[in-house]
Structure 1
Amino acid sequence: MSDVEVVAPNFKRQLSGVTSTIVQLIPLQRQLGLGIATLGPGLPDGLPRLGWLSLFSFWRRPKGRDVRIWHARRNNEMVAGVLMRDVLRMPLRLVFTSAAQRNHKPFTKWLIRRMDAVIATSARSGSYLEVPHTVIMHGVDMKRFHPPQMPEDDFSASGLPGRYAIGCFGRVRHQKGTDLFVDAMIALLPDHPDWTAIITGRTTAEHKGFEDDLKARIVVAGLEDRILFLGEVPDIKVWYRRLSLYVAPSRNEGFGLTPLEAMASRAAVVASDAGAYAEMIEPGKTGVVVPAGDGAALKEAIRPYLTDPDLAAIHGNNALAHVRENFPLEKEAAAIMDVYKRVFASGGRNNGRK
């Protein structure tokens, strides 16, 4: 425990975007010389992690530090941090990362005011905060998500019809706008026989009826061989590399990493303005952004790429360069490290805390 300067708790057993962020960042943060470990369920083997009994060691300061940082990303993690610091008087300082793009409830606002530093994952999420904060957007692992390199990365290796692929990845549900994508494909694909649409992602029991309805509409349109639900695939990365165009049609989103993963794989992107999508994409250069929930606008934004695959290739190349410059995961890790350094240097004092 004496070597652990920062604890990144994960108080959720199911895999989530927050969990994925923790899993990807911690190895990079350790490479930067930070003594960081995680705590909680639902984490893969290999990460430096603490057991629950280690909480009793938090009264002891880490080696060379006056305080230890507790970096929360969920409300329950903030609650735990406040209890340990303010009730149990442990030498902790609290950092919170907020991705929410909505007005916070009073209790959440109170918790956020108790933090020693706050990070927003986008300018849009930061606009809902009433405290000073630092905007640090998520990055993407450029080693895992990269342009095609092997024959299997070419769409022809999939065995599916067509020469070009357009994809929509993620959980299949109304919130994610899967129906908007399917409707656009039903309208557009009859005029563009070289393209095949691919939908991947898990469908929970709650949303099975939603998926079944979409499949029925596809059958009625006679496009069941060209609009394909693949479910959860063993390796989503290769499917990104097979795309010429990626579509992110979410009606609402916390942050949303899939456009970055697609752009890192050299695909152009059409996305709604949900989440942080609008802050990732350079309209007219790497893709197009449309109003969330606007199916007609989504369809018309996709149409030029299907008509001109060369445009998709140009924007895909631009997207790759854009992500490499602005969104590498290492940049996110370094920016968070700067926040930690400021908290350590100040002793973590948040003079505006109420």
Structure 2
Amino acid sequence: MADIRDIEIIAPNFKRRLSGVTSTIIQLIPVQRNLGQKIAVLGSGLPKSLPSVRFRDLIHLWQKPAGRRCRVWHARRNVEMLPAILLRDLLRMKIRIVFTSASQRRHTGWSKFLISRMDAVIATSAKTAAYLEVPSTVILHGIDTHRFRPPVDKATAKRALDLDPSRKYAGCFGRVRHQKGTDLFVDSMIALLPSRPEWGAIVAGRATGPHLAFEAELKDRVAKAGLADRILFVGEHTNIPDWYRALDLFVAPQRWEGFGLTPLEAMASGVPVVASDVGAFSELIAEGPHETGLIIPAGNLEAMVDGAAAFMDDLPRLAAAAANGLSRASRNFAIDGEAQAIGAIYDRLMR
């Protein structure tokens, strides 16, 4: 438990279920702390290793932190903006409010009202910023480039996961469900693998509740195609960086996505990406002379087959895109850069 008198930034998490927003908080807070940002979380559903403050500590928000004119409350949901507005405007507590928006759809009237009351707004992509009706700063998400990194030896990385080291693998990682396009990946591999015996495919992720039947149907489809030994459903893993390191091509087949970190995780692992044009993917992946992968229309199976084939059948292009992706992820998308950019907004508000 942190002493709120030593805290300058509060990051609330008012949603118990794990979500992309919660994951962002979990990954960012330690990096922000390492950069000297005096930040703590408020709420439940977070690891106990993160510094936290209690609701009863909020009484101290009437007082300024040492050397600052106010504290910052960094909200990421409506339910986190509203109490901050009440604390600042009704109770006159000394806070400024930052809101990060990842939404790529028109906001409701209620959301627009809350966002209009913010002191600063961050958009996680240019697409997200286009849906906002207030000034915003675009700060793309970053990843831990120490955790996601290429293997020293690809064959060894495959052996460690009981994969065939002589085979190349295309992968699709994330929750197994229609929205995530898992069926598009499976169908594209069913189309591609019979004529490419040197390739296999990996689906890593978990199906839950109503999506279990969807996963079962996909496995049945693979079995009927005679590819059960080459299109592998490996489930959910905590060592997901090891699975990236075993890949030669990553496919992000989502039909919809808010932001989407998997292409960055793949690129940082030295793996080229074929991705649907959703979320921030078009802002993450470079096409053209220094390509790191390809962007294809969302929901288009034929384009996915053609895009994956373009890399599977051209190993020099595959290797070049892998090197370019590693360079781009390390240079532009390290999580330290994201934390520094957010920190600059905090400092401006607290000065």
State if a TM-score over 0.5 links the two structures.
yes
Q: Which amino acid aligns with 2:184?
A: L
Aligned equivalent of 1:274, options 258, 275, 278: 278
Work out whether 1:329 is the aligned partner of 2:342.
Answer: no
State the alpha-carbon separation in 1 of the partners of residues 156 and 257 from structure 2. Answer: 29
Task: State the distance in 1 between where 2:40 and 2:78 align.
Answer: 19
Q: Where do 1:62-77 residues align within 5 Å? A: 62-77=65-80
Aligned to 2:98: 95
Partner residue of 2:240 out of 236, 239, 242: 236
Q: 1:168 aligns with which of 165, 168, 172?
A: 172
The aligned counterpart of 1:304 is: 310
Q: Secondary structure at the match of 2:283?
A: helix
* CA distances 1:176-213 after superposition (whole Å, capped 9, x unpaired): 00011011001000011111100011111110111111
Aligned: 1:260 with 2:264: yes
| Alpha-carbon separation, structure 2, partners of 1:219 and 1:107 | 48
Aligned to 2:208: 204
User: 2:156 and 2:211 mapped to 1: Cα distance?
Assistant: 31
Farther-moved stretch of structure 1 (30-39 vs 174-183): 30-39
Q: Is the 8 A contact 1:73 1:97 kept in 2?
A: yes
- Counterpart-to-counterpart distance in 2, 1:215 and 1:234: 22
- Paired residue secondary structure (1:171): coil
Superposition deviation, residue 342 in structure 1: 1.7
Q: What is aligned with 1:223? A: 227
Is the CA contact (8 Å cut-off) linking 2:154 and 2:245 kept in structure 1?
Answer: no
Query: How far off is 1:66 after superposition?
Result: 1.9
Amino acid at match of 2:333: F
> 1: CA distance between counterparts of 2:340 and 2:301?
38
Using the TM superposition, name which of 334-343 and 258-267 deviates more: 334-343
Residues 205-241 of structure 1, C-alpha deviations (whole Å, 9 max, x = no match): 1101111111111111111111111111231010000
Matched letter for residue 263 of structure 1: M
Deviation for aligned residue 1:73 = 0.6
C-alpha separation between the residues in 2 aligned to 1:80 and 1:252?
30
User: In structure 1, what is the Cα distance between the partners aligned to 2:241 and 2:163?
Assistant: 17
Show structure 2 runs of 5+ residues with no match: none
Larger CA deviation: 306-315 vs 262-271: 306-315
2:150–2:269 CA contact under 8 A, matched in 1: yes
Distance in 2 separating the partners of 1:292 and 1:207: 20
1:57 aligns with 2:60: yes
Q: Which moved more, 1:171-180 or 1:12-21?
A: 12-21
Shift of 1:247: 0.5
> Cα offset for 1:87?
1.9
Aligned partners of 2:132 and 2:307: how far apart in 1? 32
Superposition deviation, residue 35 in structure 1:
1.1
How much does 1:309 deviate? 3.0
- 1:4-23 aligned within 5 A: 4-23=7-26
8 Å Cα contact 1:156/1:163 also seen in 2: no
1:130-154 CA distance string (max 9 Å, x none):
0000000001101111110367852
My pick for the range that moved more, 38-47 or 145-154, is 145-154
SS across alignment from 1:2: helix
Partner of 2:296: 290
TM-score, reference length from structure 2 = 0.95
CA drift of 1:55 comes to 2.0
Q: Which letter does structure 2 place at the counterpart of 1:313?
A: A
**Secondary structure, in 3 states, of the residue corresponding to 2:270?**
coil
- Determine which of 26, 36, 47 is the counterpart of 2:29: 26
| Alpha-carbon distance in structure 2 between the residues aligned to 1:140 and 1:337 | 16
Q: 1:75-86 maps to which residues of 2 (within 5 A)?
A: 75-86=78-89
Does the 8 Å contact 1:155/1:164 carry over to 2? Answer: no
Q: What TM-score, normalized by structure 1, do the two folds share?
A: 0.94
Tell me, yes or no, if the aligned pair for 1:153 and 1:239 is still in contact at 8 Å. no
Q: Comparing 152-161 with 211-220, which one deviates more in the overlay?
A: 152-161
Give the SS at the match of 1:168.
Answer: strand
Segment of structure 1 superposing worse, 297-306 or 165-174: 297-306
Moved over 4 A (4+): 150-153
Distance 2:55 2:294 in 1: 46
- Identity percentage of aligned residues: 55
Partner of 2:348: 342
Amino acid at match of 2:87: M
1:15 Cα offset (Å) = 2.0
SS at match of 1:174: coil
Q: Which residue does 1:132 correspond to in 2?
A: 135
Amino acid at match of 1:144: R
Q: Which residue of 2 aligns with 1:42?
A: 45
**Cα distance in 1 between the residues matched to 2:12 and 2:251:** 32
